[in-house]
Each structure stands twice: as C-alpha cells, then as structure tokens.
Structure 1
C-alpha cells in the first residue's frame, strides 16, 4: 500500500543540501567550450511552494541590477512550474528541476531548462497513467543524470537525448544522492516507517547495486566533498536517536566517522565548493540555525561561518557559488509565510545582499558572464 509523500513544508521541513557542481568541464550534452568566467550574472532560486497548491516557482535575481523576479519561471514559460519541486541543479548549459508532484496524480517530472534563459527545453515525465513516481533528487556523471524516486528506483537519463534509458530498483522512499569515484550513493529513508538506516552504493559503469552501508537511522541528505568523501545527514527518530552527520569513504565504501555531531537535525543543510565546506546545525539553547565551517580531515564542524550579526529565520537551503565562494542561504522565514528570502554572504562570512523569493526557497543555480 502506498504511503503519503512526506513533503518538506509539512511534517519535518526537509532541507535541500546542495553540493556545488563543477559544471564547466566538458560533458556529453554540452559541446560548447566555455571561456573563462568573468562574474556571476544572476542566481536562480527554486521555491518549493505549498504542498497541494501547485505553486512551486523559480525566482531569478539579477545581481548587477539588484532586481528579483519572484515568478521568473512562469513569466518566461507561460505556465506554472508544478507541484512540490524538490531539487534544482546545473549540468553543462542546462539546469534540471525535479518536480515531485503528489501521490494519486500524474504530476511528477523533471523540467530541463536552458540555463541562460530559463526557458524549458523538455519536461521528462515520471508518471504512470494515474500516478507519479515522486522523483526527489538529481545528480550527474559522464553525460548521465540520475534521479532518486520515492517508489524505490533510481532512473538514468541521457543528457543528450533527454530520455530515461534505464532504472535500477533499490528500496522505497529514496531521498538524496551524490556521485563519487564512479559510484552513486543513495539515501534509503522511510521516515521511521520501518527503521531504515542505510545508503545504497550503485556502480555507475554497470548500473547495478554493489552494497548497502549502515549509517544513522533515517538518512535523507547526501553530498560529495571535493576529497571524494560522502557526507550523509540523517534525522534520527526525533526522540531517542539523535540526528547525525556520517562520513563515508568512497575508496573503501565504509563509514569512517564515529560518534554524534551535535546539533544535526531535520533543519540541517550542507554544501561544498572546491574550497569551502559548510554545515548548518541547530543551537542547543535557542534552536536557531548556526552555519559552521566543516573540517574535511575530521568530518566535523569547527568555527562559525557568519561573521556579522545577520540573523537567519528558517534555514531551508544552502548553496555555494563555486566561482567566488559566495554563500547563499535560503531563509523560509516561517512555514506559513507567503514569501521567503535569500541572503548572500561573501566568502568572509559577511552579508553582501539579500532578496525576496517565493514560498519555501531552497537550492540555487548560478548564471555566469564569461570573458571574451
């Protein structure tokens, strides 16, 4: 029997943790030779929207003009983005938006857009005749996109043809995923329905499962660090088993971290660029979000990143611009607010600017200017 989709804005406030893509390298779907990046022109922000209202949206902020278009996707494409969008990533000259939809209706797809214009190129259906497969997260490797699904499968999309070409069955209620060392690491999370606590490892050459790695109960967010380690945020059972940050070696496919990282919970997010590594935790007294620098040698948080008095309401997304290490925090403000905001910090931890977004902002994708 199917169980209801656990969406971000209702039961547990899932935070999308983003790992910065090094998209400027050559890929099968992109034969353009990019010139050197000159500056960041703007930022796309995915807004999840209210569950059941079909009001997911993408905001675009023009950095030079200091202007935000909160309903950018609809203004460019003439239609709404859809129901419960859960991930937005860039690969080559395209960006891919995962729209989960909701159970009992065929509203699930991946929307592929031109990253320079935001115009839809194709919507890839993840639906049966009467229901959606509820895709959740997306990652990329050697011209392929990999999408986790709530029905237990990971789908492989060819990024040249934009067609689904294969599936591998793992287990129901898959969440975050990341690629390292030619392998895909996928969180097996069922939100305490049967006590799952594993990350599945898939060989991307054969597209077959290799093994499961035991982590803290209820793993949800997965990201790959520049050194090849895989980090997993697990939520625990919200009572006796605390949330935790586990570290996996992609060389040995074993968990190498021990103990519990304090403050990791359902409000935690992590993000990596080539040079900067961040993790948000909750303050033990106030429960307010605190952004920490992450030590990759130990796999544990160290000093605070934010160096001024900027306050964060509800941490709902975290992304680092790999070009200049600017850090973008998506602040949902509250789970009942009809607007959100994004706060941009420089690499020194001081606020540079902020702008208003749609409902429940989360992951960001960057649009660049290039040198002639």
Structure 2
C-alpha cells in the first residue's frame, strides 16, 4: 500500500512536470500567442499630414469621435516639437504607430518616429541620415515583430519592434549598381514586395520593377517587371498584390493597376487607364479594396482584380484624393482630401457609400491610424 501510494505520487509529479515543461516549450517556441484584446469601438482617428514642401510643417491631426473635436497638430501638442519635414507614411503595429518622415534632398531631416497610439507620445525617433543628407525613408511594413522601411537610397532597413533598434539592412542592387528610389511596400506569403520608382535624382534605379525579398533570410530573390514607375502596392488576404504604376513626364506609358500572384510572383492582370489619367491611392483590408482614379474611388474585386462601383453614393465630392485607409473594425473608409494641395486638408469617413462625418486637417493629409477602445 505504501509502495502504491509512493508510485502514485511519483507518477502524478512526473505527469505535472511533463505538462509544465510542455507548456513552457510551447510558449518558448511561440506556439501560444498572447491574447489580443477584443475591439469594442473606434475612439478616434489619426491622420498623417505631409505638409507643404520645405516648410517643416508635417503634422498628425486627431479627430475624437466621442467629443467631435479635432486637434489639427496632435503630435506637436503632446510632444512639444514639430513632427518634421515631408512625413510620408503612418501605420499601426500592435500598440504603436510608425511614422516615416522622408525629409528633403540635401538635408539631414530623415527619421522614423515610433509613437504610442493611445497617447500620441513619441517613444523613439530613429534617424536615417548621413552627416549632411537624409536617406529619405518612404514607407513601412511589418512581419513577425519586425518593421521594414524603404529608402530612396535603395536600402531596406529592418527594425526590431520590441527593442526599437535597427537590426539589419539590405542594399538592393540593379546589376552591379545600387538600386535607388524605393517606394511602397507590402508583405504577403512570407515575402516583402518593394516598388522601385522613377526618380529624377536617381536615373539608374530599377524603374519598372517590383523587387521580392524573402523575409526569413532577408535576401532578394527576384525582380518582377510591372511597367514604368511603380509607386504604391498593397496585399490582399488571398495573397494577391496590387501595384500602382504612374506615367513619367516625357515618356509614353499608361498608368496601371497591376495584379501579382505571390505564389508564382508573376503578373496576372493589368488594368490600364489613359496616359494622363491618374491612380492616386490604394487601400486593402479584410477583403475590401479601393483605389483612387482621378476624382473617383473605385472598388477592387479581389477575386477577379476588376474595378467595380464607386465608393461614394451620396453625392459627396472629393477635390484631391491624397490617401485612402480602410478601418478593419467597421469597414469604414477614410478619404484624405488635399483640397488642391494647400495648407489645409480634410478627411471624410464613409460607411456604405455615405459620408458619416468629416473634419479639417493640416495640409496634404494621407494615411490614417485608428485609436480603438477594447472590451
């Protein structure tokens, strides 16, 4: 009887130890994900405003949905300093948003500002400058706790989102020359897709390619020919990518919306517009895609790649489409209106084709980030 109880105790202890070790191993291997809070609503909307060139007046405007009040320069109010010159991208990842400040050619004004979403407090500013010039970072994308930043000097910088430090850089190449003029980024299928724009300062760039980078090895695998001057790119949940190409002054090509299959990395569709028409912005989230064409915003059928109905059905007009952002919580769409590229802009929020509200921003509003409430 004593021996039975002894072996029962040993067996129970052994079983508990195995369960404990198994639990620890799962956590160590990353098999147990931390619980993500459930969103209950949208408290406010941040809108990145590029500002007028050379005036150091970029800003982050904030609209409080509950109070119906706007803080046109929330970043400056909270941080007691200007955001910078030519802010170009703002995206959320976890509890932080990442603001890409391009700066201007010939001056050391290039940064990535990492900001707490709840408070708009700057947590860290990472410089992307030489002694006398900026590397002109352009866009940011995310994959497995890493942020990836494209730069006009042809480098992709990788930032650890926990330590907020740069932990890797990849110089893209055009044959034996450095690639330059990197623009929009998108991540899908374990790969980073980077657009190589045409830029007058950098005549030797890839110009008509989307570069593919394997994110597990952080190495370039190939270039995809998409057409002259690709600038924007977005990924759908089914793995397809949609890249926007622009025309180049003095060259003949039609702007286009190019669909890429991320399994084969092949172009499978192209929707061209007339030579002097204009694809202005693109947003995709939760199987919903929209693209700006001249003064209209068209739905993208993410199954067929074809363009469909207009976003706006209530007669509202947008002067200058400068940014589009889908709110994945409620499928509303924020349309940023540059209003003729002046010092004041406006953001419109549409639900089911109808304007829900709008608010003033600083000049040249672009991308939006949402401040959520949680259950």
Structure-1-length-normalised TM-score: 0.87
Contact 2:256–2:270 (CA under 8 A) maintained in structure 1: no
Matches within 5 A, 1:253-272: 253-258=265-270, 260-261=272-273, 265-272=277-284
CA–CA distance in structure 2, aligned partners of residues 223 and 276 of structure 1: 11
CA distance in 1, matches of 2:270, 2:37: 43
- The partner residue of 1:365 within 364, 369, 374 is 369
- Distance in 2 between the 1:333 and 1:48 partners? 13
Q: Which residue of 1 aligns with 2:247?
A: 236
Query: Partners of 1:71 and 1:196 in 2: how far apart?
Result: 35
**What SS does the corresponding residue of 2:35 show, helix, strand or coil?**
coil
Q: Which structure shows the bigger proportion of residues in helix conformation?
A: 2
Aligned length: 334
Give the Cα–Cα distance (whole angstroms) in 1 for the partners of residues 167 and 276 of structure 2: 37
SS in 1 for 2:77: helix
Q: CA deviation at 1:296?
A: 1.4
Q: Are the counterparts in 2 of residues 267 and 315 from structure 1 also a CA contact under 8 Å?
A: no
Are 1:264 and 1:280, in contact at CA under 8 Å, matched by a contact in 2? no
| SS of equivalent residue, structure 1 residue 50 | coil
TM-score, length of structure 2 as denominator length: 0.86
Give structure 2 stretches of 5+ with no counterpart.
1-29, 173-178
1:299 alignment counterpart: 305
Contact 2:157-2:168 within 8 A present in 1 as well: yes
| Counterpart for residue 339 of structure 1 | 344
Residues 1-372 of structure 1: matches in 2 within 5 Å? 33-170=35-172, 171-191=179-199, 193=203, 196-238=207-249, 240-258=252-270, 260-261=272-273, 265-282=277-294, 289-335=295-341, 337-346=342-351, 348-371=352-375
Misfit runs of 4+, over 4 Å: 261-267
| Aligned partner of residue 61 in structure 2, secondary structure | strand
Give secondary structure in 2 for the equivalent of 1:73: helix
Residue 269 of structure 1 deviates from its aligned partner by 1.1
Cα distance in 2 for partners of 1:317, 1:264 equals 20
Q: Which has the higher contact order (CA 8 A, sep 6+)?
A: 1
- Shift in Å at residue 266 of structure 1? 4.4
Distance 1:108 1:258, change over 3 A: closer
**Contact 1:98–1:111 (Cα < 8 Å) also in 2:** yes
Distance 1:259 1:33, change over 3 A: closer
Distance 1:151 1:354 in 2: 37
SS in 2 for 1:312: coil
Structure 1 unpaired stretches of 5+: 1-27, 283-288
Shift of residue 246, structure 1, vs aligned partner:
0.4
When residues 223 and 211 of structure 1 are mapped into structure 2, their CA distance, relative to the original with a 3 A threshold, is same
Which is higher, the Rg of structure 1 or of structure 2? 2
Change (3 A) 1:297 1:281: same
- Provide, for residues 213-259 of structure 1, a one-character-per-residue CA deviation record: whole Å limited to 9, x for no partner: 00011000011111111110000225521100001111011111145
CA RMSD of aligned residues (A): 1.7
1:260 deviates by 2.2
CA shift at 1:264, angstroms?
A: 8.8
Separation of aligned partners in 2, 1:292 and 1:350: 14
Q: Determine the C-alpha separation between the residues in 2 that align with 1:225 and 1:32.
A: 25
Secondary structure of 1:257's partner? Answer: strand
